[in-house]
Amino acid sequence: MNVFKNLKNDLPASIVVFFVALPLCLGIALASGAPLFSGLIAGIVGGVIVGALSGSKIGVSGPAAGLAAIVLTSIGALGGFENFLVAVVLGGVIQILFGVLRAGIIGYYFPSSVIKGMLTGIGIIIILKQIPHFFGYDADPEGDFAFFQVDNENTFSEIINAINGISLGATLVAVLGLGILLLWDKVLVKKAKIFQLIQGPLVAVAVGIIFFVITKDSDVFGISNEHLVSVPIPDDLSSFLGQFSFPNFGVILNADIWITAFTIALVASLETLLCVEATDKLDPDKNVTPTNRELLAQGTGNIISGLIGGLPITQVIVRSSANIQSGGKSKMSAIIHGFLLLISVILIPRLLNMIPLSVLASILFIVGFKLAKPSLFMKMYKLGWKQFLPFTVTVLGIVFTDLLVGIGLGLLVGIVVILIKSYQNSHFLHIEDKDNGKHQVKMTLAEEVTFFNKGAILKEFDRLPEDTYLTLDVRKTRYLDNDIIEILEDFSEKAKIRKIDIKLISERGEVENPDSYIQFFKLRPKSV
């Protein structure tokens, strides 16, 4: 496979991901009580190493906001950052063990409504958290996505404080940046190819740097250092190398180190699997990421990150969604973004430190809005309460607690809904395989098919050879979950490429290669 064939898409996307990742790497390190450079190390390793090893074409890895509280507590409890790095390395080893044991299958057992709620909740929290930064109020570090913040405020009290502490220069350049981004996205990209190659965020950042240089001596419009990116600036090569930290393996037998390592492995793996499921849902090409390979890649990344002084790594939805929205097509966009981080912190740290955080906030506004479009709420409402309730609980849980708690609440509600409305069926799928000239396969779905059956159905579809005539019999099916309908919708696109013809048989009759399964089942989980 030629990894450079999508470079015209991946290179512009990598630049956008770089500008999204830079403040988050630094902010998460600050919120974690770790050296700022440790966040950059995790971003570089997540891009270059994990990006190369991962089976995901559009996922991007780096330091995760969801681990910040664990890191902050663990550094103090374990007696220092070098001791904590041992837990990061061991956590990576445990993740590799998870991958070998094929624990990645867990990722298939999260219902679609919860995944969509996760994406929407993250979109809303990005917008809410970036409002203070947009107005030049940077008391809370970038990357702190929890409701109760490290500066002892919460999401909404921080917005109120920002209104009383607006920086005129930072706000003005943020408005300029947002205007450029909207103009680029809505008008210019449709006018000429040059505007597709040169991304709007790059222009917005360039304008931000120029604005800072021009107004730095102004008492009214000048932007002070606390409102700018803050990359460590080494004096020479030795001081640059001095920013790397190394694990103190003398504490490896400490039981607390192993407890922390298992906690990191568990939380990082769960966040990664959730992100994989979410990015596959967003992916316009409908690629399916091998989850066990992803755990192996993440584990390797965490071992390397821990060995050279980096924070724990997961696949991250903010960066991944920015990659998808910017047109990234292959893993090269993630890898290139990692190299951009590495090259920039070595060669141009002073230039990076001229970027106003408010401009980067305007970029994240666009990312957040595209994740949390208002139309999605109406769509989920029309799907019925069985989809809307877990979706809403997940969104509210993420906004008012944090990512994992919100996901947990949504999953709990989703399970309760399924237990109320359906029962477990041990034989949900039956296959008859005949070969009469063209390979023929008949799949008969059982009476109850829910998101619990998603992994097995995906596996069966993946096994189908090319030039197959698939008969899908749903005459006995009385309840078909929305997740399964979406799988059928996604598979129909893959089937065209693989020369698979589909005949759908229901009590309503027979349909050859339906144009839309969602329309066929009337946009909701359907008694067929």
DSSP conformation letters of 233-274: --SSHHHHHTT-----GGGTT-HHHHHHHHHHHHHHHHHHHH
Q: How confident is the model at residue 528 (pLDDT cuts 50, 70, 90)?
A: low
pLDDT digits 0-9 by tens, 489-513: 889 888 888 888 888 888 878 888 8
Beta bridge partners of 441: 433, 470
For residue 448, what pLDDT is reported? 77
**Of the given ranges (217-231, 332-346, 419-433), which has the lowest mean pLDDT?**
419-433
pLDDT digits 0-9 by tens, 400-441: 998 889 999 999 998 888 766 654 443 455 555 665 666 788
Tell me what the mean pLDDT of segment 522-528 comes to: 50
Query: What CA–CA distance (Å, rounded) separates 255 from 380?
Result: 46
For residue 424, what pLDDT is reported? 43
Query: What CA–CA distance (Å, rounded) separates 504 from 392?
Result: 33
Query: What CA–CA distance (Å, rounded) separates 155 from 259?
Result: 31
First to last CA, the chain: 42
Tell me what the mean pLDDT of segment 470-478 comes to: 85
Query: What CA–CA distance (Å, rounded) separates 47 from 287?
Result: 19
Q: How confident is the model at residue 176 (pLDDT cuts 50, 70, 90)?
A: very high
For residue 66, what pLDDT is reported? 82
pLDDT digits 0-9 by tens, 205-219: 999 999 999 998 898
Angle between helices 81-100 and 68-77 in degrees, nearest 10: 130
For residue 525, what pLDDT is reported? 46
pLDDT digits 0-9 by tens, 19-29: 999 999 999 99
| pLDDT value at 196 more than 80 | no
For residue 521, what pLDDT is reported? 72
Q: How many CB atoms lie within 10 A of CB 475?
A: 11
Query: Do the Cβ atoms of 42 and 152 come closer than 8 Å?
Result: no
Task: Enter the tokens of residue 482.
Answer: 């929305």
Please tell me the pTM assigned to this model: 0.82
Tell me what the mean pLDDT of segment 386-400 comes to: 94
Structural domains of the chain, ranges and CATH numbers in brackets: 18-364 (no CATH), 429-520 (3.30.750.24)
3-state SS class at 313: strand
Query: Do the Cβ atoms of 115 and 454 come closer than 8 Å?
Result: no
For residue 526, what pLDDT is reported? 46
Angle between helices 112-134 and 374-382 in degrees, nearest 10: 160
Query: Do the Cβ atoms of 21 and 320 come closer than 8 Å?
Result: no
pLDDT greater at residue 451 or residue 305: 305
Query: What CA–CA distance (Å, rounded) separates 196 from 88?
Result: 39
Which stretch, 106-120, 189-203, 350-364, has highest mean pLDDT?
350-364
For residue 426, what pLDDT is reported? 37
Percent of the chain with pLDDT over 70: 94
| pLDDT value at 2 more than 70 | no
